[in-house]
Amino acid sequence: MAVRHQLILRKPGVVWSLLEDETRYGDWVVGTHETGPGEGRWPEVGSSIDYTVRLGPKEFQGHTTVRRIDRPGALELEADNGPLGTARIAFDIRPWGDNTLVIVDEHPLRGPGGQFHNAALDAILQIRHRTMLGRLARVVEDMPRDADHP
């Protein structure tokens, strides 16, 4: 199980405004390139974002689909990276004083990651999450202060 948290020095509404902006997905999600709209209206359940994943010289087409949204506390996604398999990525968004605690929990579902899920894979996911949550915090904290919601 790969669970990691990050304190973001902005209110939950600002974090949500970024999570709900499909055009900013590539700004904070590690490994995605050339992101674009997929199906439906993001972030409604069943909507998706399309992107390219690069691993060295190889490129894979992927998409992420919203499986559950419960504003203002939860967003659950299923990332599908073709031959790399799929993963469940859950964001738990909690008010923390005047700030926000974001907890991400990722589990491989299908494909090689799901078949061979082990502590080594979780360690790699921890490194990815540390980078992703750090990016998320920087992008949110750099947003204009007039974006704050009560």
pLDDT digits (tens, 9 = 90+) for 36-89: 889 999 999 999 999 887 777 888 888 999 999 999 899 999 999 877 789 899
Flag whether 108 is in a domain: yes
Flag whether 149 is in a domain: no
Three-state SS across 26-46?
HHHCCCEEEEEECCCCCCCCC
Task: Specify the 3-state DSSP secondary structure of 111.
Answer: helix
| 52 to 33, 69, 82: CA distances (angstroms) | 5, 24, 11
Flag whether 44 is in a domain: yes
* Number of structural domains in the chain: 1
- Domain hosting 129: range is 2-142
Q: Which residue has the higher pLDDT, 97 or 85?
A: 97
Element (H or E) spanning 19, and its range? helix 12-19
Flag whether 150 is in a domain: no
The arithmetic mean of pLDDT across residues 108-122, rounded, is 68
Residue 1 in contact with residue 126, Cβ under 8 Å?
Answer: no
Flag whether 101 is in a domain: yes
pLDDT digits (tens, 9 = 90+) for 7-23: 999 999 999 999 999 88
Mean pLDDT of the chain: 86
Flag whether 13 is in a domain: yes
Flag whether 147 is in a domain: no
Angle at 135 between CA 134 and CA 137, to 5 degrees: 65
Flag whether 103 is in a domain: yes
| 139 to 17, 27, 58: CA distances (angstroms) | 11, 7, 28
Q: Mention every residue, 6+ apart, whose C-beta is less than 8 A from residue 22.
A: 35, 37, 42, 43, 49
| pLDDT for the residue numbered 4 | 87
| pLDDT for the residue numbered 149 | 52
Residue 127's domain is classified under what CATH number?
A: 3.30.530.20
Task: Specify the 3-state DSSP secondary structure of 10.
Answer: coil
Angle at 26 between CA 23 and CA 30, to 5 degrees: 155
Residue 48 in contact with residue 40, Cβ under 8 Å?
Answer: yes
